[in-house]
Structure 1
Amino acid sequence: MNTFHRLIRLLLSGALAWVSSLSFADVTIHDPHAEDNEVIVGYIEFPPVFFTNDEGKPEGYLIDLARMLMEKKHYPWRAVSRPTRRMAIELADGKIDLWIGLATLPEFTGTTLVGDSIVSRIELNAYWQGDKKTISRIEDLTGESVVLLHGFSYGGAISFLRDPVNRIRDCSAFNHAQAISMLKVKRCDYLLNYDGPMRLELKKQPVQDLHRKRLSSLDARFVVSKKRDHAAKLLKDLEDALHELVAEGKWFLPPP
């Protein structure tokens, strides 16, 4: 073989090696276990805790928490909306892996692992400034002016709050920051809101002489289906990620 042909062979083999290396660099290697590792998170329609928005996507402050937890521990995940009883049955059967909420549903007995941490206290509070009348129950708002967050059902109390018979004047707010601003400038005398998002917003926007009265309360915990592969590991990862978020100031645990 003459020098010219040897040179051509060297150039061709080098080019092939270069192309081959590019091909391997650009290939996305599919992890056959990635789909198996997906966490199915169940939720119910209970704004602002969790709900399906107008675009058909899950939303709410416990959906936001789920997103932060999964990103921290690198779990692929998706959220599915179900009526409460169906969600509980599917969690027990293993069709749903995780629920963040009330852990005492009868379907969960013997079928789930429950986290130690109270992730959130789903606590509906009345807020007001100064020496206004104390609100101890929804009915005490009759004849008053109240900041209400747009789209919130308030656990079904919205029908009472909007009933003209009860003479409640409402100021509609589209987010928590706007709701607090309305209370501060006295657009309305009272504000109905949930403890979790309210605490986060008050850290950014403190209110002087603010009073609070709990109207209702439920403790939310991590509930993991025992049918989930490595269920105990998933629960531990969630608890660890939760406390990391708390340490970073991205989440607040309710007082004991």
Structure 2
Amino acid sequence: MRSSFSLHLFVFLTPGLFHVARLVILLVAALLSTSATAQSGPGAKTLRVAYVEFPPITYQTDDGAPAGSFIELTRKVAVEAGYKPEFVYLPLSRTYLYLSNGRIDVWPGVTEVPRLVDDVLESWVSPLAVQLSAWYREGTPALDHFDLLQGKRVIVIGGYTYGGLLAWLEQNGGIRVTEAPNHRSAVDMLKRKRGDYLLDYRQPVQEILTEPSDSVIRESEVRTRNAAWIFSLAHPRAALLRDDFDDAYLRLVEKGEVPPVREITGGYVIPGFPEELR
């Protein structure tokens, strides 16, 4: 239609004005093209993605790069959905804060975080499960009921909230909570008998159990949680972002490029686990 309009316009122009009119039309076309490019350029659909230290699922390499199985999955799904992920390494507490105030758009994390319940949308797709375990030394009774923690010293990882479980433990007068700065330090504290049990997630601990003396460490399952993409409700397109990610994941499943969709269940919970945190 634009060409037809231009042709009819030129018919009624004098020869002297012909080139001026042609210049104006080309300039308008260039401006329209620039505007369209600005709206669909790589910066327009950049997503700020928070990630925390949770090896081998999400972590920062020695040279400061994001890495881990969930990082690679997030990158693949984001690109399939038409977004450019910009990864931001944060402590867990700041991740929660930035999700609440909108300074980040999405976090590849876990579902049902009490602190975030009014501030986020969770993807319908859950690509993997995350297991919380109680680790203990050989010779210590296995933790087959949560009440066995009464009167015991429990080691936790600094910065982790355990889905609200840390606050519950700290308010329980019969349980002594000791904090470790990282997973390796926590296992070493357990081996030195500075605690009776260590509450930590299976994947990070399995990653570091490499020393010969680590063979004395045993494990009891406490709780299984679902991993998902957690979107900030402060983002004006949060619901659309979630749909884009879910749809992209399903397309990648059809291509055989990501694991099949998991069936979401309540997961395992150890007997005696606090009812209000289930």
TM-score, structure 2 length as denominator? 0.51
Q: Does the aligned pair in 2 maintain the 1:89–1:107 contact within 8 Å? A: no
For residues 185 and 252 of structure 2, the distance between their equivalents in structure 1, rounded to whole angstroms, comes to: 36
Q: 1:213: how far off?
A: 7.2
Q: 1:32: how far off?
A: 4.1
Which residue matches 2:184?
158
Which residue matches 1:40?
48
Fraction of identical pairs, as percent: 23
How many pairs align? 175
For residues 106 and 33 of structure 1, the distance between their equivalents in structure 2, rounded to whole angstroms, comes to: 36
Mark the CA change 1:91 to 1:165 in structure 2 (over 3 Å): closer, same or farther: closer
Q: Does the aligned pair in 2 maintain the 1:246–1:253 contact within 8 Å? A: yes
For residues 58 and 113 of structure 1, the distance between their equivalents in structure 2, rounded to whole angstroms, comes to: 23
Which residue matches 1:129?
none
Which ranges of structure 2 fall in alignment gaps of 5 or more residues? 1-29, 141-156, 161-181, 194-202, 207-211, 266-278
Aligned pair partner of 1:220 in 222, 227, 233:
227
- Higher alpha-carbon deviation: 41-50 or 240-249: 240-249
Which residue matches 2:245?
238
Give 1:176-215 correspondences, 5 Å limit. Answer: 214=221
Which ranges of structure 1 fall in alignment gaps of 5 or more residues? 1-23, 126-136, 144-152, 167-175, 180-186, 193-211
Q: Does the aligned pair in 2 maintain the 1:43–1:79 contact within 8 Å? A: yes
Which residue matches 2:69?
61
SS at structure 1 position matched to 2:45: coil
Which residue matches 2:108?
100
What amino acid is aligned across from residue 120 of structure 2 in structure 1? T
Aligned pair partner of 1:138 in 125, 129, 135:
135
For residues 37 and 110 of structure 2, the distance between their equivalents in structure 1, rounded to whole angstroms, comes to: 37
Which residue matches 2:198?
none
Mark the CA change 1:237 to 1:32 in structure 2 (over 3 Å): closer, same or farther: closer
For residues 215 and 159 of structure 1, the distance between their equivalents in structure 2, rounded to whole angstroms, comes to: 21
Structure that is richer in helix per residue: 2
Mark the CA change 1:109 to 1:161 in structure 2 (over 3 Å): closer, same or farther: closer
Mark the CA change 1:124 to 1:253 in structure 2 (over 3 Å): closer, same or farther: farther
- 1:27-81: CA deviations, max 9, x gaps? x995345423211111111111211101100111110111110121221111101
- 1:68-108: CA deviations, max 9, x gaps? 10121221111101111211111111110001212333442
Mark the CA change 1:97 to 1:73 in structure 2 (over 3 Å): closer, same or farther: same
Aligned pair partner of 2:90 in 79, 82, 88:
82
For residues 96 and 87 of structure 2, the distance between their equivalents in structure 1, rounded to whole angstroms, comes to: 14
What amino acid is aligned across from residue 251 of structure 2 in structure 1? E
What amino acid is aligned across from residue 159 of structure 1 in structure 2? S
Mark the CA change 1:105 to 1:124 in structure 2 (over 3 Å): closer, same or farther: closer
For residues 162 and 253 of structure 1, the distance between their equivalents in structure 2, rounded to whole angstroms, comes to: 37
What amino acid is aligned across from residue 238 of structure 1 in structure 2? F
Mark the CA change 1:59 to 1:226 in structure 2 (over 3 Å): closer, same or farther: same
For residues 254 and 123 of structure 1, the distance between their equivalents in structure 2, rounded to whole angstroms, comes to: 15
Q: 1:157: how far off?
A: 4.8
Q: Does the aligned pair in 2 maintain the 1:138–1:215 contact within 8 Å? A: no
What amino acid is aligned across from residue 88 of structure 2 in structure 1? V
